[in-house]
Chains A and B, each alone.
Chain A
Amino acid sequence: MDFSLIIPNIIKLLGKYWQLFLIEGVKNTLILTAISVAMGTVLGTVVAMLKMSRFKLVRFLVTLYVEVIRGTPILLQLYVFYFVIPQVLKFLDMPPFMWVAVALCVNSAAYVSEVIRSGIQAVDKGQTEAARSLGLSSGQTMMKIVLPQAVRNILPALGNEFIMMLKETSLASTFFLGDLMTSCLMVKGATYLTLEPMIIVALIYLCMTYPLSKLVEYFEKRMGGAGYRKKKKKNLKEIKAEVQA
């Protein structure tokens, strides 16, 4: 293998296939990530709440779901959602791309729910006791006291979860669904070059994940330990105007 040709080859490939990499591939990867992250967060929040339900059966079912998803390979889950579930739910006429998106949602929801649950449970129990002792209901305590503090634990971990998801969408290439990794496979098939397309997509993935991880780092610094910032307080004039209104 002639390594001296790698860089000229990369330049050549980019010249010829840049649309496949940068437009098709990046677009589909970002769409898959956005769907699975957005739906995964919503679903994950619901799952986290259900996991703290007072009904034993609900807790059991939700725990089963989380354990199965976390305990089996994501590739296996994709196979199930690609080959099996569309056969079972024939009336749901969805394209394969959407089935893979659903699989990724179901997967990320399980991880997100654990992030949210542990974030909530990491808030000191004394906070709940103090709020309840003032007469706040459990719902008010959750909304006004626990969740605002839990967000600080949750956000950075959630960011890391998003980065994981972005990389895991590459598994969609197993079914040739047009994501960035699929672009890599297609170019490899068309040109018989192996290393060069891999280097290209690796760099593109890095360009997407690195800023994200920097963002997470920023949030971690802002939210971690250092304490809460003062918010700008309404002055008394504004309050009085409000009262009169």
Chain B
Amino acid sequence: MEMIKTVDLHKSFGKLKVLTGVNETIHKGEVVSIIGPSGGGKSTFLRCLNLLETPEKGHIYFEGEEITGKKVDIDKHRQKMGMVFQQFNVFPHLSVCDNITLAPKLLKGKSEAEAVEMAKELLNRVGLLEKMDEMPGTLSGGQKQRLAIVRALAMEPDVMLFDEPTSALDPEMVGEVLEVIKGLVKTGMTSVIVTHEMGFAREVSDRVLFIAEGNILESGSPDVFFTNPTHPRLQDFLRKVL
């Protein structure tokens, strides 16, 4: 089943063309990693998927429904697309628990008790249960990112979008966040992950995309992708990073 499909996606910032007609389909249950050089358009592509960036041309279909149309209630669709940011973006004025329960209470009509129960379960899963009543300011970067992940999961999304989830972390905290994502991926969550962690991409992905110069230049299963790259731009990129 097709989860997200993009057709001829174009996006530019001023004169800079960032995406030049991207066609891609992500299937249900698939784990797709996106790698590529900075400024190549991988984050922009990801941010287009839930319309944090509005593409100027092209179509995006989410679970069979076009979301780029004029009269679409994008808020409804976003509830089913969790997103995790490079800069965590946890809400500093809300406690760890409230960070998680805010959206389910507001948007899904969950009662306080239900939402808190769920928050506890999620926090326990990522080892943050004892931080439940703390303010996010007291958390480390890795803990903040784990909180951001379960905050998105609390909406019970159908797909998770990760935008360089470990790039802003101290090296020693990268592992704990990747572990959480790995655990999540094992549950069959459809995921799109923009990352610079090549080893991680190779390990968890069903498919890896190489985005550079505004388009997908190569796509394939991790084994083929990393051992037998065909596009010269990818060969060059892998030579530099591996």
Cβ distance B153 to chain A, nearest Cβ, rounded Å: 11
Q: B199 to nearest A CB, angstroms?
A: 27
Give residues of chain A (114-129) contacting chain B, Cβ–Cβ below 8 Å: 124, 126-127, 129
Q: Does A136 interact with chain B (Cβ within 8 Å)?
A: yes
Complex Cα distance, B81 from A137, in Å, reads 15
**Chain B: number of interface residues, binned into ranges:** 35 or more
Cβ of B133 within 8 Å of any chain A Cβ, yes or no, is yes
Which residues of chain B are within 8 angstroms of A124 by Cβ–Cβ distance? 87, 89
Q: Are B50 and A133 in contact (CB under 8 A)?
A: yes
Please, how many angstroms separate the alpha-carbon atoms of A149 and B92 in the complex? 8
**B52 and A133 within 8 A (CB):** yes
Residues of B within 8 A of A140 (CB): 106
Q: Given contacts A134-B155, A243-B111, A243-B113, are A228 and B93 in contact (CB under 8 A)?
A: yes
Q: Quick check: which of A10-18, A60-68, A229-237 contacts chain B, the rest being far away?
A: A229-237
- The secondary-structure label for the interface of chain B is mixed
Chain A contact residues, majority secondary structure: helix
> Which residue of A has the minimal Cβ distance to B112?
A239
Contact among A135, A144, A242 for B75, CB-based, below 8 A: A135
Residue of B nearest to A233 (CB): B133
A130 within 8 A of B: yes
Q: Closest chain A residue to B151 by CB distance?
A: A134
- Chain A contacts for B135, CB-based, 8 A: 227-230
B134 x A145 contact (CB < 8 A)? no
B85 at the interface (CB under 8 A from A): yes
B85 engages A130 (CB within 8 Å): yes
Q: B93–A129 contact, CB under 8 A?
A: no
A148 at the interface (CB under 8 A from B): yes
Give complex CA distance A231, B93 in Å: 10
Return the contact of B113 from the options A130, A231, A240 (Cβ within 8 A).
Answer: A240
Report whether B106 and A136 are in contact in the complex, using a CB–CB cutoff of 8 Å. yes
Contacts of B111 in A (CB 8 A): 243
A221 lies within 8 A of chain B by Cβ: no
A222 at the interface (CB under 8 A from B): no
B75 adjacent to A239 (CB under 8 Å) = no
Q: Is there an interface contact between A133 and B134, defined as CB atoms closer than 8 Å? A: no
A134, A149, A242: the one within 8 Å of B79 (CB): A134
Question: Is B116's CB within 8 Å of the partner chain A?
Answer: yes
Which residues of chain A are near B90, meaning CB under 8 Å?
A: 130
A70 interface contact, C-beta 8 A: no
CB-defined contacts of A240 to chain B, threshold 8 Å? 113
B224 in contact (CB, < 8 A)? no
If A127-B91, A227-B92 touch, does A133 touch B81 (CB 8 Å cutoff)?
Answer: yes
A137: chain B residues at CB < 8 Å are: 75
A49 CA to B85 CA in the complex, in Å?
28
Q: How far, in whole Å, are A135 and B74 apart by their CA atoms in the complex?
A: 8
A52 to B200, CA, bound (A): 43
Q: Per-residue CB proximity of B32-73 to A under 8 Å, as 1/0?
A: 000000000000000000101000000000000000000000
- When the two chains form their complex, are residues B95 and A136 in contact, meaning their CB atoms are under 8 A apart? no
| B107, A134: Cβ atoms closer than 8 Å | yes
CB neighbours of B83 from chain A (8 A): 130, 133
> What residue in chain B is nearest A127 (Cβ atoms)?
B89
What are the residues of chain A within 8 A of B113 when measuring CB–CB? 236, 239-240, 242-243
Residues of chain B with a CB closer than 8 A to A133's CB: 50, 52, 78, 81-83, 152
Judge whether A136 and B87 touch: CB under 8 Å. Answer: no
A136 to B83, CA, bound (A): 13
Chain B positions within 8 Å of A, measured between CB atoms, are 50, 52, 75-76, 78-79, 81-83, 85, 87, 89-93, 95, 97, 102-103, 106-107, 111-113, 116, 133-135, 137-138, 148, 151-152, 155
Sample 25 A-B pairs with CB under 8 A, ordered by A number: A127-B91, A129-B52, A130-B83, A130-B90, A133-B152, A134-B82, A134-B103, A134-B107, A135-B75, A135-B78, A135-B79, A135-B107, A136-B75, A136-B106, A136-B107, A140-B106, A144-B102, A149-B93, A227-B135, A228-B93, A228-B137, A234-B112, A236-B116, A242-B112, A243-B111
Please provide the 3 A-B residue pairs with the shortest distance between their CB atoms, ordered closest to farther.
Answer: A135-B79, A227-B137, A130-B89
Residues of chain A touching chain B, judged by Cβ–Cβ distance below 8 Å, are 124, 126-127, 129-137, 140, 144-145, 148-149, 227-231, 233-234, 236, 239-240, 242-243
